[in-house]
Amino acid sequence: MARLPLDDADAQVRRWFVAEMTRLKCKVVVDQMVTFRDAGRQKRFCAAHRMGSHLDTQPTGGRYDGILGVMAAVEAMRTLDENNIETQYPVAVVNWTKTRSHAGRAKRESRRCTGWQAYKWFTLDIEGSAAHTGTTPFYARSDALLLAARIMIANNALAKKHNGLASTGILTLQPGSVNVFPSNVRMTVDVRPPSDEVLDALEKDIKIEAERLAREESEKGCQLKWTTDFVSPKVTFAPACIESVRAAALATVGPDAVIDMYSGAGHDSCSTSAVCPTSMIFVPSKDGISHNPKEYTSPAECATGAQVLLHTVLNYDAQRTQ
C-alpha cells in the first residue's frame, strides 16, 4: 500500500470515507488538516469521543499503519448504528492528514498502549575535505563519510548501553563521485531512550564520542555541527482512557493476551494527548514487522482490535461526566 497524502488514491479513499459516513447519517466536517464525522445518536451535545487515525500512508508504510485505526473506527460506528446504541456523548471518526514519519506495532498480543517514549531528532553536518581516492593516502585524508560510519556505529553501541535506540535514516553527501571521498556529509540521528533523563544522558554521550572520533580517528580531522530538529518528551496517557482500554481488552481477549506497553514511535496521539484525554490500542504483527509492506496482522486480530475499540468508547462514555 502506497497512498501518499493528498494524491489521487488518497482523494479516492476520502470520497469513500465521506460516502460511508453519510450513509450512516453522520455529520461530515472537514478542516485544513483533519476530517472527522460526528454520530447523531447521543443524549448530550458537547465534545465528542473521537476514534481513528489516517487513511494515507508513508511510501513504504504498509497496509495497516493509520488505515486499520480508521477502518476499525468505521466498523465501530457501523455497529453502533446497526444496533441502535445511544451513547451519552457524541462519537466521531477521525481521518487525519498524515504528518508523521514513524509508526509502531507490537509483536506480541498487545492491546493497551499507556504512552510513548521520549525521542529527539538531530541533523549532523560533517565537514571534511574531498580528494582523489587514488592519490591521497589514508594519513592525509579528512573523509567525512568514513567518520559518519564510525559515528553511526558508536551511536548504536551507546544506545545499547543506555537501553535505548539510535538510528540514522537519511544520509546525503558531496561531491558524490566514484573516485573522490566526500568532503561533506549530512546525516539524521534519531535517539529514543526509555525516559527524559536517559535521553539527556544519551545525547550527551553521543555528542562527546562523535567529537572524539572527529578529532582522534579521522586522520586529518573533521568539523561537526549539530542541529536539534525535534524534541518529544515521554508522555503517559490519561488514566481514565487507559482504564477504559484495559477493561475492554480484558473483556475481549482475557488477561493472558493483554500487556501494557509504551510506544516506541510517534503517533497522532502524541499531538491529541496535549489537548484532550487520549489512549491507544495496538494489535500484533507477524514477526514484529511494522511500517513495512511485509507487515501482516490476521483478519481475526484486526476484528479483535475493532471490538476492543468499540467497547473502549462505550466504557469511557459510561464513566465520563463532562
Residue 35: per-residue pLDDT: 58
94 neighbors 153 (Cβ within 8 angstroms): no
3 neighbors 55 (Cβ within 8 angstroms): yes
pLDDT in tens, 193-207: 878 889 999 999 999
317 against 101, higher pLDDT: 317
Q: pTM for this structure?
A: 0.71
pLDDT above 70 (res 141): yes
User: Hey, what's the cell of 9?
Assistant: 488514491
153 φ, ψ (degrees, to nearest 5): -65, -40
Q: What is the mean pLDDT of residues 211-224?
A: 96
User: Which of 209, 204, 190 minimizes the C-alpha distance to 118?
Assistant: 190
Q: How far apart are the C-alpha atoms of 25 and 95, rounded to whole Å? A: 17
Mean pLDDT (the chain) is 86
Residue 233: per-residue pLDDT: 80
pLDDT above 70: percentage of residues in the chain: 88
> Which of 133-147, 182-196, 248-262 shows the lowest mean pLDDT across its residues?
248-262
Residue 108 confidence class, pLDDT cut points 50, 70, 90: very low
pLDDT above 90 (res 31): no
Q: How far apart are the C-alpha atoms of 31 and 240, rounded to whole Å? A: 28
Identify residue 301 by its one-letter amino acid code: E
Q: What is the mean pLDDT of residues 286-293?
A: 84
Q: How far is CA 280 from the centre of its chain?
A: 12
Residue 273 confidence class, pLDDT cut points 50, 70, 90: confident
Residue 299 confidence class, pLDDT cut points 50, 70, 90: very high
Residue 106: per-residue pLDDT: 30
pLDDT in tens, 46-63: 788 899 988 888 877 788
Residue 174's H or E segment, with its range, is strand 171-174
Secondary structure of 283-315 in the HEC alphabet?
A: CECHHHCCCCCCCCCCHHHHHHHHHHHHHHHHH
Other beta carbons within 10 angstroms of residue 85's beta carbon come to 14
Residue 219: per-residue pLDDT: 92
Identify residue 209 by its one-letter amino acid code: E
87 against 39, higher pLDDT: 87
Structural Rg of the chain based on CA atoms: 24
> Which of 21-30, 75-84, 301-310 shows the lowest mean pLDDT across its residues?
21-30
